[in-house]
Chain A
Amino acid sequence: MIVNEKVALEHGLKKDEYKKICELLERTPNITELGIFSAMWNEHCSYKSSRLHLKNLPTKGKQVIQGPGENAGVVDIGDNDAIVFKIESHNHPSFIEPYQGAATGVGGIMRDIFTMGARPIANLNSIHFGSPQHKKTKNLLRGVVHGIGGYGNCMGIPTLAGQTSFDSSYNGNILVNAMTLGLVKKDKIFYSKAAGLNKPVIYVGSKTGRDGIHGASMASASFDEKIEEKKPTVQVGDPFTEKLLLEACLELMSGDSIIAIQDMGAAGLTSSSIEMASKGNLGIEINLNNVPTRETLMTPYEIMLSESQERMLIVLENGKEEEAKKIFDKWDLDFAIIGKTTKSKKIELFFDNNKVADIPVNILVENSPMYDRKWKKAKLPKKIKIKKKEINNLKIVDVLKKILSNPNVCSKEWIWQQYDHTVMGDTIQKPGGDSGVVRVHGTNKAVAATVDSSAVYCWAHPLTGGKQVVCESFRNLVSVGAKPIAITNCLNFGSPENEENMGEFVECVKGIGEASAYLKFPVVSGNVSFYNQTKEVGIKPTPAIGGVGLIKDYQKMITMDLKKVDNIVLVIGKTEGHIDQSIFARNILDEKNGPPPEVNLFNEKNNGETLLKLIDAELVESAHDVSLGGIITSVSKMCIKGNKGLNLKKPKYLISDIEYFFSEDQGRYLIEITKENYKKVIDILNKNAVHFDELGIINEDQLYIDEKSKITIDELKSSNTTWLNNYMSN
């Protein structure tokens, strides 16, 4: 096939990028080489629009062992234990084929984790769908949930926590972000950097088929009406083979024969081989005839661009081939020596005794395009003047019921009951709490994890929204008694070629950076997903933050269910009455304008750290952060979980009842304490200059609101649990 500019454009490359390729090679690339360039230089693999901004993120910290740039980030949790974790998007494939798209998203992120030598111990996910009324939403939700469960359940890794939202901006572009945590010994971490000459390059796992060819390029383009034609670019997952691959890799890793290991994810054999060569400053030579293939007559182009799942590339020590092969034979997996490391610093491919590609590695990696895209700064919207009269006529109980049954607030049990969340026998906090918690097997430690996003806030003001998501992640960890360690981010945005979308990206990243630097909550891994748009319409900016924290003594873990009648509930943090962009404003008043709640990083840090002190001193019975729907929504969830009521009294504030109960001011928590500990708790809060209100006393079964109105816990529960069940069964 003749390569020219037209063919290059069909591969998703831009005119000037094609020109640059010809200049760097000093010749026209052949079709295999062009395919390799298109795979390496697309947005998904090259981060060409985002690199410039991502490098400003804080990535270092006392506990950080490995920051961005490897398969996943690694943090130290003491006693020679480390946690490896990362979040990744699989948005485009999941919209085209929800089951396989979501399943292979989960499979891909788990591979990233065990590639580093870690056994996966928890999966999380952040999934976002269009309006519930949209004709595709129900099937997409069902397909994605089945896909996530189908893969994770079979692998035997608990799906611990997640987040689901609905918003019409995702009608044509759903988001599926999958996160995995793995546990590894600090001195047994594996990296992707090749080293040494003439070392055998080994291919293990599934055979290579024609599925997923150009998957990464597809994920770097917008959708249009021809989207159905892209189905063949979606990979097909086989969790059983991945389970075998996991066990075989960990078995091989317990020895000392591996120099470098890299999974074949986006852009398959192409990116894995180039990555290993580039990091090791070496060349790699591959004989493509030795690659195990599933179909006959596959061309070098197809072999290099296939995104077949469950495959790994390993650089072995010389002489260890037989020993390694034995392990993969035991697990019935393919094992093939397909090449070797060379000093050429080139990627050289052979097929039927012909050289079919010959590219210097640095051209593909260091010389890949980087753009300083134009972007537009977002103004902070003006505050909306809420008509007091309008809201004073509302009955709090009615509003509360409506908010509890809102698709974005309601219980997601229908979803997480389909995920095995207890396998491995260490799950001590199930989905539905502030964070999921698993014990570090055989120790007193536990790891907490949460995934969060606030697209509405980010859309209203990206800088504030970016900060807010990091703070929310921090709060969700603190609420279970975990000390926040680090985050991973999945940055889902529209087209970087659109100045407004690019502006949203730049400012969200800036906000994430500011908050994570202030909270000493560094970013250790992540992924960018652009072009989440159909035709010209992009999604709301949706950076998803995956947070990880440590509980040193798991017996001190906190849950959100109210524990005992007569205990006291306090609100930590000040309530200013910020209604704009709240679920109350958007769903009750139908008001979509105004700024998101302000983020005060000092208060976030101080309030969170003070709460951790209280928890450590065993003065807290239950805790929950205040988020969507404000104080009353959050306390209702504590009531529902604990099957207890509360005599709720609004403190004498200047703001109205509605503002006090439904505003979404940041930096707040609800905590339950005993009467005996009241004085001790107040002293600590005062000493640390933390504002608090007394909210009420726990009772058997009713939520009383200022003695003016009441609702039973059963009613609250049914408001909270019926929507999703009904929606999915109709």
Chain B
Amino acid sequence: MKSSVITFPGSNCDRDMDVALKKFGFQNKMVWHNDIDLPKSDLVVLPGGFSYGDYLRCGSMASKSKIMKSVINFANSGGMVMGICNGFQILVETGMLPGVLLRNKYLEFICKNVFVKIKNKQNIFFKNIDNEILELHIAHNEGNFFCTNDQLKEINDNEQIAINYCNENGKIEDQFNPNGSIENIAGILNKKKNVLGMMPHPERMIDKYLSGEDGSLFFNNLINNIK
């Protein structure tokens, strides 16, 4: 299986993603933001970081990068695209995913483990995962998902919510929401379910010596689903 990770100026989880994808069997290529063409890929990943310093709205500069035209075309033709953290922010800025990501409710960067409940398993990213709940890691300043009421209705009607913040028992409540996201949304899909954006970093949870191993579950499942 072939994957591509895009490096924007200021990306800083690009290497971590490369390590994770390779560990679980992807043949991964790093792609520079100024390139025009994507290499042949089964999966394209927009990694975390601070593209262009995030001095403007997070992800907005990167969404106009040269390579993004190809990424958008790739997604429109059904290709799988995944944006993690800053990558999620970029996907939202391109319009590939609905909504926006605001600053965290308490106006502080948060780096910690959280639990998420998988809301939708009818997609290539999460189908066949046995667990209902995953322990993942977040590290962000702008992960507060927000959208209009109409958008929210559409997201729900189309079953686009991928994962919600919850506690270890899967309870989705305000107190387990780390950043103020609407309906505890931690990750969403596009209508066709081939584009996923999420704040948690599965690539930081890929062996038992790290913060946890549920990232391994995610990647293992991902590569099996693509095969």
A contact residues vs B (CB 8 Å cutoff): 146, 149-150, 153-156, 238-241, 243-244, 331-332, 416-425, 427-428, 430, 439, 554-555, 557
CB contact under 8 A between A427 and B210, given known A420-B139, A422-B139: yes
B97 to chain A, nearest CB (A): 23
Known: A156-B50, A243-B12. 20 other contacts (CB 8 A): A154-B10, A238-B53, A243-B53, A332-B9, A416-B111, A417-B108, A418-B111, A419-B109, A419-B111, A420-B109, A422-B204, A422-B210, A422-B211, A423-B139, A423-B204, A425-B16, A425-B204, A427-B210, A427-B211, A428-B210
Indicate if the CB atoms of A424 and B52 lie closer than 8 Å: no
C-beta contact mask, B138-167 vs A, less than 8 Å → 1, else 0? 010100000000000000000000000000
Pick from B49, B111, B201: contact of A421, CB below 8 A. B111
Candidates B48, B110, B137; contact of A418 at CB < 8 Å:
B110
Are the CB atoms of B210 and A153 closer together than 8 Å? no
A239, A425, A428, A439: most-surrounded residue (chain B CB, <10 A) = A425
B residues 103-149 near A (Cβ < 8 Å) are: 108-112, 137, 139, 141
A428 close to B209 (CB less than 8 A): yes
Nearest-CB residue, chain A, relative to B106: A729
CA–CA, A554 and B204, complex, Å: 17
What separation, in Å, do the CA atoms of A240 and B8 have in the docked complex?
11
User: B15: CB under 8 A from chain A?
Assistant: yes
Please state if B209 and A156 are interface contacts (CB–CB under 8 Å). Answer: no
Q: How far is the CB of B25 from chain A (nearest CB, A)?
A: 17
CA distance A331 to B32 in the complex (A): 11
Count of inter-chain pairs, beta carbons less than 8 A: 84
Question: Do the beta carbons of A554 and B209 come within 8 Å of each other?
Answer: yes
Distance A428 CA – B209 CA, assembled complex (angstroms): 6
Within 8 Å CB of B55, what residues of A? 240
Q: Which residues of A contact B201 (CB under 8 A)?
A: 422
Q: Assess the A423–B210 pair: CB atoms within 8 A.
A: no
Determine the chain A residues whose CB is within 8 A of the CB of B204 once the complex forms: 422-423, 425
CB closest chain-A residue, reference B52: A240
A244 touches B9 (CB 8 A): yes
A428 CB contacts on chain B under 8 angstroms: 209-210
A660 to chain B, nearest CB (A): 36
Contact of B9 among A149, A240, A557 (CB under 8 A): A240
The interface centre, meaning the residue of A154, A240, A243, A423 with most chain B CB atoms within 10 A of its CB, is A423
Nearest residue (CB) in B for A419 is: B111
B19 contacts the other chain (CB 8 A): yes
Are the CB atoms of A154 and B50 closer together than 8 Å? yes
Tell me how far the C-beta of B219 lies from the nearest C-beta in chain A, rounded to whole angstroms. 13
Rounded to whole angstroms, the CA-CA distance of A156 and B209 in the bound complex is: 20
Q: What are the residues of chain A within 8 A of B50 when measuring CB–CB?
A: 153-154, 156, 239-240, 243
Q: List chain A residues, Cβ under 8 A from B210.
A: 422, 425, 427-428
- Check if A425 sits within 8 Å of B19, measured CB to CB: yes
Are A155 and B209 CB-contacts (below 8 A) given A240-B52, A417-B110, A417-B111?
no
Q: What are 19 A-B pairs with beta-carbon distances under 8 A?
A: A149-B109, A153-B50, A153-B109, A154-B54, A156-B13, A239-B50, A239-B53, A240-B50, A243-B53, A244-B10, A417-B111, A419-B111, A420-B109, A420-B111, A420-B139, A422-B137, A423-B12, A423-B204, A425-B203
B49, B54, B55, B110 — which one has the most chain A CB atoms within 10 A of its CB? B49
